[in-house]
Amino acid sequence: MAKNIAVMGDSESIKGFSAVGLDIFPCEPEEAASLLRHIADSDTYAVIYLTEEIYGVTEKERARYAERLTPALIPIPGVRGNAGTGKKRLSSFVEKAVGSDILFNG
């Protein structure tokens, strides 16, 4: 069975993703945790993009899926701008893999 891609965040930040065929889930920070559990546990999505705001308030829920292959939970900037969450996350992965941050060390 093919898996889809979902996007969670405030409606202004994610509405354009539906135009390219992604499933969007507009939400407020207060409801993000339960919505993330619902989407991730449905086993329908291989990747779930979360705006940085939603990514930040769902730390406990994201930890439940950290060791699973799917869904991959990826932070993306919202309309309020880029807080650098994705860059920090990628940097930590590279450092863990090679022992040094060779991408963003300067």
Question: Please, what are the domains in the chain?
Answer: 4-78 (3.40.50.10580)
**pLDDT at residue 87, rounded to an integer:** 65
Percentage of the chain beyond pLDDT 90 is: 63
Percentage of the chain beyond pLDDT 70 is: 75
**pLDDT at residue 86, rounded to an integer:** 63
pLDDT, tens only, 9-57: 999 999 999 999 999 999 999 999 999 999 999 999 999 999 999 999 9
How far apart (Å, rounded) are the C-alpha atoms in residues 72 and 55? 12
How far apart (Å, rounded) are the C-alpha atoms in residues 18 and 104? 32
pTM of structure: 0.81
